[in-house]
Structure 1
Amino acid sequence: MSIIELGESVPALTPHASSVSLPTWADNVGYEEGQARVLSKMTTGYPRFFIHKAIVAFAEDVVQRYGTGGQAAMLFPSFRTSRRCVNFMHSRDPSISPNQIQLVDLVLDKNKVVSESLAKISPSVSAVIFPKDLFSVAKQYWQHSGDGVSSRRAEFCHGLFREGILIDEKTLQPTKDNMNGIQKSCKGPRRYQKGSIDQGIQIAPECGTKAVAAQQSTPDNDIPEARESSQFLEERFGRNLDVSFVENAKLAIRRRIAGSLMGETDLAATPSLNVTSNTRGVVGLSDDDVYLHPCGMNAIFIAHQMLLEARGHLKSISFGFPYVDTLKILEKFGPGCLFYGNGSSEDLDDLEARLKAGEKFLALFCEFPGNPMLKSPDLTRIRGLADTYGFAVVVDETIGNFINVHVLPYADIVVSSLTKIFSGECNVMGGSAILNPRGPHYHSLKKIAEAEHEDNYWAEDVIFMERNSRHFVSRIERINENAELICSILGAHPLVKTVYYPKYNPSREFYDACRTPNGGYGGLLSFEFENRGQAIAFFDRIETAKGPSLGTNFTLVSPYVILAHFLELDWAAQFGVPADLIRISVGLEGMDHLKAIFQDALKAAEGAVS
């Protein structure tokens, strides 16, 4: 594939992409250093780190209407999520006074809307408005929690806001009609008379006769790529999508995650009753035990919050070198954590000694396998310690995925980023959490989930995720094969110092203990050269997409440690994570094509100067 220009979305021309092109090593360093050369070209970025321009535009309009000069806003999908942000800001900076932060809950004005469909998809936004000098504190919460609005929600709701349909809840005045549940009606074009996500908004006559489409909320709605959402909905489901399809799509996603649905389903059909048979290795797992979240990090954040409520404010354990924000959640929310960055048997020996001495812990959080070193924790031993000493186990299966490994039997909660291989398309975010019905903490967690789970997964994102995930099983099987091919090419080259992959790591026995009968070793691998010059030459030459994220249907290469730990490279190195590591998320390309582009990049490394 041709190299995507610096700062453009990955995939190219995708308005809601979850990656961005950083095609050279210097671009990655420049991004981390905040160089104007790089930042000025960023049209998008990885969500949670880069706030999408559609969200920024909406936030600016909210401040203009409800705030004052010198203020900024963060947008959240609900009352509860915005209040969590405010609580976090006060906890990080107690000097913030209450009158410095303003909250605006934007909800539908039902006096101006006649479509019942619109109300069903809950297009609400809650804004936290604060002085601009507090932006970095608010951004921490946005990044760590994953609670922020999605770009599609912002785009849709911004249009409602501009039309005066989404208004400050405090300004709503009850009328005789809406107190009786009656909505004002108006005639409109026939194509708008049936509710749909993209064309289902009808406005009362006093507000004009325009119908607001999802993509009319940004000034760039006339460019082809900005019509991605409505175009898909129209082509796949027809002009008027019945909103009931959204709930069926959520159910299809949950059943795929539960292992009870592996292919396509008719979203227009009445779904069958709750399914309990599954391929997860746990008897009695139901799709009701699967909870959807706007992104994977939000699933981890909410899991941690549930455990704090269920078991009290105890320290957690972060086992193995983790994804950066998982560790930040455990450190910044609640009483902190015990960090075992190597994830070794010696670390488990130390943990066991602490437990025998009477120390109590909330939960152990780990990835299976870990990112970026692909080490697998000893889940059998961890489960034994958890059962003996009463702590919970939370396993992030994003990289392994349940087609390759069964980790649910060892966990109380399994979390995953659906943004990755479950979707594959790199154009929608999503996350999931599964409660193990056989786990010792199931009943207390289930009680909390049933009472407090808030479904903030935006309807349009659901539709894209359901479509993308229909053939994830066959995609994973092919990616497994491609990854092993790449490992063999790299492992045979004299300049490659080490290849990190579950199949070749010393921790393979722990991976194999959880591997499914037909499971492979996944599509993620990392490797390092003998020196940095070779790594730079290889990275700059390889003709793949290059940017953050993983689990894409196309091969995606990244100098991961530079991006994730640029300001803490020495800290990462003490856990065996080298600064010059190159991480590869292998895609669906043909084997001959992959072999050619990797051999070409390796030739460039051969000519590099140390």
Structure 2
Amino acid sequence: MRNLQTAPIWTAEELGHPIPPDRHAISVCLPTWESVIDYEEGRDKVMKKLRAGYPRFFKHPLIERLFAAAAKELAVESERVIVLPHRAAAQRAIKYIEKRAGVAARVVSYDGLQAVIVPDTAYAVAMEYWRFSGEVVTSRQAQDVLEGDGLWEYDSTELRQRLAGFGDYRPDSVFLYESGMSAVYAVHRAISSLHAGKKTLQLDFPYVDVLKVQNHFGVGTVMLHDCCGEPFDEAISRIRTGEFAAVFCEVPSNPLLRTVDLEAVSLACREGGVPLVVDDTIASVYNVNVAKYADIITTSLSKWISGKGDVMAGCVQVVEQSPYFENLREHLSDDCPDQCRLYAADAAVLDENSRGFLERIAPVNDNAEALVEMLLSHPLVDQVWYPSIHDQENYQKVQRDGRGYGGLISFTLKNEKHSAKFFDELQLSKGPSLGNEFSLVCPYTILAHYDELDWAEACGVPAHLIRISVGAEDREVLLGAFRKAFEVIQK
């Protein structure tokens, strides 16, 4: 297979190619700023060339075939079908569709999966559920059904033990889900069962769909996009009163790489009887230990722990010292039989990929710090976001001894008009997602918030922000790619 550390996928001719070049890749090449905009606007000149995409946003060709096969067998005229992995997800989807679209839907078993059949008019809402819940059928699952191999089983015990070992957790407190967002959604259901009728609190600007889960599947959320000063003090006071069902945050946050004062938040949560949910995906469990403050931890295993970009998976860890440990673990045990809802073929791939996690992440840390140093000193760069720059004191409270700051960096150029040209010229793989052994770049705000750019800007996230997930390639390859792109816009 092509080595993306030395031969990235970035040229205009490679528009729509899977990243990595694998049938089950979870990213896709969007090589120019214009192609990202055309993708967001659904233009045929991009959409017809896509051979892959991030699975919650894009229907893989195998998923398209699965949906079509189920529709041919089960649907009648003016009906559409989505296929979900299990009965509980299908039942939740029906409730969501009936509430949001105001129409009836039905569910039928289909080759070990579940087909949700909806009127044409409700199909977009059904696909909202697919995206926001993360309870998706994977391309490997679809392949096994379509090719008649049947769905197979996998003993996840060793995988869960390894994942628990990365963070020194109890293996019986680790639960595996179809995606990182499915893990977040599972936690949201769990805390909603403990504190029904209360809103959640989101601290700092979050990854887009974490906010969607809280808004669409509960009674709503309160968001504090900048956790400092008087607004943060007020939020701490409200937490102490027990106002919220839970507090959600990412440490550090995406894409601004800021770190909330978890110590202060945790103390307030204990006083108010409010669970604290922390996502550690961005810097990875290798670099941060949020268990000293969190009650429950979510992780997208698709990112650094897999490191290959060819499998979707999520994880929930219930913190043993949490006062909610038994209640949360009981709920998740009912929700996630055998502590694993990850499909067997995906679990097997993750098992293999995760064996190299510790070796991959150390050079990523070093490469990222070297790139940050270059960006901070470059005359064309305006702002740089990285945990060693922003809220360093808060980050160090959760930083593991001798570890680094992770591989995600965001930055802007002083001349906003140069952003597109710089991105187009950057000879690194370009597409959505993060956390791979190879570097991956995207114009993050355009990609994640195209329909709400003004809102994102008001929250401190500029439209021309560029985000890079740094890989473990030779450092000179990485820095050299940036030098060349800077040289082009300096001419």
* Same-fold status (TM-score > 0.5): yes
Alignment map for 1:442-461 (pairs within 5 Å): 442-454=325-337, 455-461=340-346
| SS across alignment from 1:467 | helix
Distance 1:475 1:329, change over 3 A: same
Maintained 8 Å contact 1:78/1:456: no
| SS across alignment from 1:398 | coil
CA-CA distance at 1:312 after TM superposition: 2.2
- Find the aligned partners of 1:400 and 1:258 in 2 and give their Cα distance: 17
User: Are residue 149 (structure 1) and residue 137 (structure 2) matched?
Assistant: yes
- Find the aligned partners of 2:136 and 2:197 in 1 and give their Cα distance: 25
**Amino acid in the other structure paired with 1:258:** A
Where does residue 528 of structure 1 map in the other structure?
A: 412
Maintained 8 Å contact 1:534/1:606: no
User: Are residue 25 (structure 1) and residue 33 (structure 2) matched?
Assistant: yes
The percent identity for this pair of structures is 36
**Amino acid in the other structure paired with 2:124:** S
Where does residue 135 of structure 1 map in the other structure?
A: 123
Q: Show CA shifts across 1:363-411 (max 9, x none).
A: 0000000000100111000000001111100001001211111001111
Of the three residues 379, 397, 403, the one matched with 1:513 is 397
Where does residue 443 of structure 2 map in the other structure?
A: 559
Alignment map for 1:218-297 (pairs within 5 Å): 246-247=154-155, 250-259=156-165, 279-280=167-168, 285-297=169-181
- Find the aligned partners of 1:309 and 1:478 in 2 and give their Cα distance: 42
CA-CA distance at 1:55 after TM superposition: 1.0
Q: How many residues matched?
A: 480
CA-CA distance at 1:355 after TM superposition: 4.3
CA-CA distance at 1:18 after TM superposition: 0.7
- Find the aligned partners of 1:128 and 1:82 in 2 and give their Cα distance: 6
Distance 1:62 1:355, change over 3 A: closer
Of the three residues 60, 77, 86, the one matched with 1:78 is 86
Maintained 8 Å contact 1:156/1:213: yes
| Structure 1, unpaired ranges of 5+ | 108-123, 161-211, 215-242, 261-278
| Structure 2, unpaired ranges of 5+ | 1-6
**Amino acid in the other structure paired with 1:136:** A
- Find the aligned partners of 1:412 and 1:17 in 2 and give their Cα distance: 33
- Find the aligned partners of 2:239 and 2:367 in 1 and give their Cα distance: 42
**Amino acid in the other structure paired with 1:463:** A
- Find the aligned partners of 1:50 and 1:344 in 2 and give their Cα distance: 37
CA-CA distance at 1:354 after TM superposition: 3.0
CA-CA distance at 1:359 after TM superposition: 5.6
Of the three residues 418, 423, 426, the one matched with 1:542 is 426
RMSD: 1.5
Where does residue 307 of structure 1 map in the other structure?
A: 191
Maintained 8 Å contact 1:331/1:337: yes
| SS across alignment from 2:398 | coil
User: Are residue 487 (structure 1) and residue 487 (structure 2) matched?
Assistant: no
User: Are residue 477 (structure 1) and residue 372 (structure 2) matched?
Assistant: no
Where does residue 19 of structure 2 map in the other structure?
A: 10
**Amino acid in the other structure paired with 1:605:** I
Question: Following superposition, which runs of at least 4 residues in structure 1 exceed 6 angstroms of deviation?
Answer: none
Of the three residues 58, 64, 77, the one matched with 1:69 is 77
**Amino acid in the other structure paired with 1:293:** Y
Where does residue 392 of structure 1 map in the other structure?
A: 275
Where does residue 420 of structure 1 map in the other structure?
A: 303
Q: Show CA shifts across 1:34-87 (max 9, x none).
A: 111111111121110001111111111111111112321111111111111000
Where does residue 206 of structure 1 map in the other structure?
A: none
CA-CA distance at 1:420 after TM superposition: 0.3
CA-CA distance at 1:257 after TM superposition: 2.1
Alignment map for 1:577-588 (pairs within 5 Å): 577-588=461-472
CA-CA distance at 1:154 after TM superposition: 1.0
User: Are residue 42 (structure 1) and residue 68 (structure 2) matched?
Assistant: no
**Amino acid in the other structure paired with 1:21:** C
Where does residue 474 of structure 2 map in the other structure?
A: 590
**Amino acid in the other structure paired with 1:442:** F
| SS across alignment from 1:130 | strand
Maintained 8 Å contact 2:257/2:387: yes
**Amino acid in the other structure paired with 2:132:** H
> Which has the higher mean CA deviation after the structures are superposed, 393-402 or 68-77?
68-77
Maintained 8 Å contact 1:383/1:410: yes
| SS across alignment from 1:557 | strand
- Find the aligned partners of 2:453 and 2:330 in 1 and give their Cα distance: 42
**Amino acid in the other structure paired with 2:158:** A
**Amino acid in the other structure paired with 1:8:** H
Where does residue 604 of structure 1 map in the other structure?
A: 488
Where does residue 344 of structure 1 map in the other structure?
A: 228
CA-CA distance at 1:353 after TM superposition: 3.5
- Find the aligned partners of 1:29 and 1:451 in 2 and give their Cα distance: 42
- Find the aligned partners of 2:176 and 2:483 in 1 and give their Cα distance: 41
Maintained 8 Å contact 1:19/1:547: yes
**Amino acid in the other structure paired with 1:304:** H
- Find the aligned partners of 1:391 and 1:354 in 2 and give their Cα distance: 10
Maintained 8 Å contact 2:236/2:265: no
Where does residue 4 of structure 2 map in the other structure?
A: none
Maintained 8 Å contact 1:543/1:597: yes
Larger radius of gyration: 1
- Find the aligned partners of 1:463 and 1:132 in 2 and give their Cα distance: 36
- Find the aligned partners of 1:149 and 1:130 in 2 and give their Cα distance: 17
Give TM-score scaled by structure 2 length: 0.95
Maintained 8 Å contact 1:321/1:343: no
**Amino acid in the other structure paired with 1:460:** A
Q: Show CA shifts across 1:88-140 (max 9, x none).
A: 111212x31x3xx2311124xxxxxxxxxxxxxxxx21000112221110011
- Find the aligned partners of 2:113 and 2:364 in 1 and give their Cα distance: 38
**Amino acid in the other structure paired with 1:106:** Y
Alignment map for 1:332-411 (pairs within 5 Å): 332-355=216-239, 358=241, 360-411=243-294
Where does residue 330 of structure 1 map in the other structure?
A: 214
Maintained 8 Å contact 1:479/1:522: yes
User: Are residue 105 (structure 1) and residue 109 (structure 2) matched?
Assistant: yes
Alignment map for 1:431-442 (pairs within 5 Å): 431-442=314-325
Give TM-score scaled by structure 1 length: 0.77
> Which has the higher mean CA deviation after the structures are superposed, 337-346 or 523-532?
337-346
Distance 1:213 1:329, change over 3 A: closer
CA-CA distance at 1:311 after TM superposition: 2.6
Where does residue 186 of structure 1 map in the other structure?
A: none
- Find the aligned partners of 1:348 and 1:366 in 2 and give their Cα distance: 13
Q: Show CA shifts across 1:252-311 (max 9, x none).
A: 321222126xxxxxxxxxxxxxxxxxx54xxxx410100000110000000000111123
